[in-house]
Structures are given as structure tokens and as C-alpha cells.
Amino acid sequence: MIRRIPAAAVLLLAVAVTACADEAGAPDEVGVDGGQSQGLGSASRPPMPELGEGVREIGGKLITLAPSPGLVATLTPYDLQLAAGEQRPPCDRFVFAFGWQVVDPAEPRADFQLGWTFDGGGGPQEIGRGARGTAKVGCGVIKISNETGEDISVDIHYLLGAAP
């Protein structure tokens, strides 16, 4: 069963991701090499993100979010937890790559409206839309807008990287 996260918890995702998985309100999560989150079958795995050539992986996880309908949740990738022993690169060398897959409802409508917008300081730009996709950004803020009018759950596989 996938746990639903209230909108307020999604807004504090950077804190929740660093918490233990059994704490109340934390998203289901595993390390990128550690299997799958609850409710995530192999047929519904999010697409594998790619950091790009020469970018060194410094962290990553598989998490489940439940953005509330009609609300905008924010995510600041630069604040997410790094792998043990890694150091945060300067902002101009930071890479955040992610893939998402809506897992509830299992078969979203063709006109499914889940939007991903990124603002890295040069103004917001849409980086993705729909039930499944991938994107890659740097330092900034991602806004996730559930315009479906219904409760949904989204599995996100993300990687953090340091460019040369």
C-alpha cells in the first residue's frame, strides 16, 4: 500500500527525505541500488534518470509522493541528502536528474495533468508534463502541480551529480 503524504509534508520534502522511512509522514524510499518502494511493481517503475557523460553520481533515491490536487508542491534538489562520504558541489556544478511515474491511479487518463516547472533564477520553465517522464536540471526550485482534480501517487527515481 502506498502512503499518501499531505500537501504540507510534500512542501517539506527535503526534510522528509532525510528522515527515516518509518517515521510518520516520510515518503517511502530506498537507495537507488536497494530494490523498490512499497507498491512499486517492475511494470510501473519510473524511467531511469541519466546524469550525463562525465557527471559523477553523489546520491539518489526512489521515493513516493502524493501531491494534493489543485496545490503546488516545491522541491529544492540541492538540499537533498547526499550519499555517505560525498560532498555537495558548488551550485554551478550540481546536477539533478529524475524520472517519474504515476502509480495511483494505475492507468491515468490520456489528458492527465501533472506539471513540473523549474526555476533556476532565470524565470520558470516547464520541464515536464504527464504521467511519466524524465528531466534534468541544476540548482533551483522544482514546482510540482497536480492539476488532475484527484488524489495521485507518483514514484520518483532521482540521482544527484557533480559535473566536472
Domain ranges of the chain: 7-162
Q: What is the pTM of this model?
A: 0.74
Q: Give the pLDDT confidence score for residue 80 in this predicted structure.
A: 95
pLDDT for the residue 135: 98
CATH number assigned to the domain covering 7-162: 2.60.120
The residue ranges of the chain whose pLDDT is under 50 are: 1-42
**36, 21 in Cβ contact below 8 A?**
no
pLDDT at 44: 72
C-beta neighbour count of 74 within 10 angstroms: 15
Task: Check residue 85 and give its pLDDT.
Answer: 97
**What is the structure's pLDDT at 43?**
55
Give the per-residue pLDDT at 30: 37
